[in-house]
Chain A
Amino acid sequence: MRNSKLFIATAALAAAIASPASAHRQWMLPSTTILSGTHGGVTVDAAASNDLFYPDHRPMGLDNVTVWAPDGSEHEIGNPATGRYRSTFDVAIDQPGTWKIGTDQSMVFGSFKLDGETWRVGGFRRRPPMAGQGGPGGNAGPGGPAGRPRFDPSHVVASAAEIPAGATDVKLSERVSRNFIFVTADAPTATVFKTGKGLELEPVTHPASLVSNEDARFRFLVDGKPAAGVEVTVIPGGKQFREAEDAQKLTTGADGMLTVTWPVAGMYWLHATLTDNHPSEPRASERRMSYTTTLEVLAP
């Protein structure tokens, strides 16, 4: 049990990362994903909660939400508001085609030793520490929510760049969390799906063409290449109106392909995870990627 302290530290780190641990799912719920014409838009709820899409835990922060239009241009969200349980915002959809809305965040977290003492890297739940406060020891703010002082706050650095030269036992992981929703005005397009970086969903069945009596196929890519072995969870919303969660646990094939059968029409939460050893931070040992989306499946 000599390592128990480190164990606790690691667990707490994992819990403190922006992307919620397995329990609380981060989700965005658009009012619709299919629009006729470009004179309107959508309104979106965003929260983290156990059950989908039932906001009873905490709102999603909107600071990092970006809107990508079909032509690649980036747009702002409108009317952002954060309540106790959920955030809401609007997106004006003024171009035909498929839009991408959401967050794409990456961070490096872990630990190192300096002069025999353990330091922590990353793990700030909400905002990164103020810049310009110097290296180790300068960011003495609370690393997590009040009442959970698991770390010596004076032994935290915000990013891998702040690890001092004399550090030893550097153990780092990179986490790349994506949460996107797709909204299509008129005919669907596929310009916003692939960037060639990290874990991505490439539509074989377009998200604007999902029907409950037809299987959907999506190809998952990592760095632009088919991603085998991606673990995918698919959960229909509205658990409070049925007995079981009805989650499907699926895995992509060698060609990155995922086939999803929809038990009912409705809004679905899809969450894919993949860990590999190609982090962009060279000292990190692994890259943990997640890709979350909300899909609207129509009745036939």
Chain B
Amino acid sequence: MKSKVLPSVPLLAAGVIATPAAAATVSVTIPRINVAEYHKPYVAGWLEPVGGGAARTVFVWYDVKKGGREPGTKWLADLRSWWRKGGRSLQLPADGVSGATRAPGTYRIPLPDNLPAGQYVLKVEAARETGGRELVSVPITVPGKGGSASGKTELGAVTVR
């Protein structure tokens, strides 16, 4: 074991330096909630530089298909923190960022690979029709330090590694 692992460490380190956050991934768990009327939540994840500056949306899941007089975008403002931090100026659908709502489960989303090095807070917010809303924050450092936090109601574990 030892002989196998040790030689690979320098290689990993070199890889991290070359493409700072290529390996960083966030996993988000949408918990199963037993209620009579369940709707899959709207969920957004974004990165806020600790030193200030614009937030960057990593992903947003909403009812992409619903159109007509009340399109699925109508309820994006229910993700009220994300909306204020940048959602309201994001053109949707956004390539590589927006997607359909997801059923309960754990999902892995790569963080952007061109993030400037520094400290960030990854925020994940979920809002559910006829349900609640929750915001989970995970402080991270790019490159290198991940983290984990968990919601209580609308979100399960949010882990960056």
A37–B70 alpha-carbon span in the complex (Å): 10
Partner pick for A209 among B71, B76, B84, CB 8 A cutoff: B84
Q: Does A34 contact B (CB under 8 A)?
A: yes
List, in ascending order, chain B residues with CB within 8 A of A184's CB.
Answer: 88
Contact A39 to B84, CB < 8 A, known contacts A186-B89, A187-B89: no
- For chains A and B in complex, what number of residue pairs have CB atoms within 8 angstroms? 37
A167 within 8 A of B: no
B-side interface size class: 10 to 19
- A36 to B74, Cβ gap below 8 A? yes
Distance (whole angstroms) from the CB of B126 to the closest CB of chain A:
15
Number of A residues, CB within 8 Å of B: 16
**B61, CB-defined interface residue at 8 Å:** no
Contact A298 B84, beta carbon cutoff 8 Å: yes
Interface check B100, CB cutoff 8 A: no
Residue B69 interfacial (CB < 8 Å): yes
B68–chain A nearest beta-carbon distance, Å: 9
Given known A187-B88, A187-B89, A188-B88, contact A37–B83 (CB-CB < 8 A) = no
- The reply to whether B74 and A298 form a contact with Cβ atoms under 8 Å apart is no
Closest partner residue, chain B, to A300 (CB atom): B81
Whether A14 sits at the interface, judged by CB under 8 Å, is no
Closest to B78 in A: A36
Residues from chain B with Cβ under 8 Å of A260 in the complex: none
- Asked if A230 is at the interface (CB within 8 A of a chain B CB), the reply is no
What residues of chain A lie closer than 8 Å to B73, measured between beta carbons?
36-37
Among residues of B, the one whose C-beta sits closest to the C-beta of A186 is B88
In the complex, B33 has a CB within 8 A of chain A? no
Residue of B nearest to A34 (CB): B77
A209 proximity list for chain B (CB < 8 A)? 84
Residues of B near A9 (CB, < 8 A) are: none
Give CA–CA (A112, B2) in the complex, Å. 102
B39 proximal to A (CB < 8 A):
no
Q: How far is the CA of A148 from the CA of B106 in the complex (A)?
A: 71
Cβ distance A73 to chain B, nearest Cβ, rounded Å: 22
By beta carbon, the residue of chain A nearest B85 is A209
Q: Are B80 and A298 in contact (CB under 8 A)?
A: yes
Question: When the two chains form the complex, which single residue of B74, B76, B88 contacts A40, counting CB atoms closer than 8 Å?
Answer: B74
Provide 17 A-B residue pairs closer than 8 Å at the C-beta atoms, listed in order of the A residue.
A34-B77, A34-B80, A34-B88, A35-B77, A36-B74, A36-B76, A37-B71, A37-B73, A37-B74, A39-B74, A40-B70, A40-B74, A187-B88, A208-B88, A209-B84, A298-B84, A300-B135
Q: Residues on B close to A: CB < 8 A? A: 69-71, 73-77, 80-81, 83-84, 88-89, 135
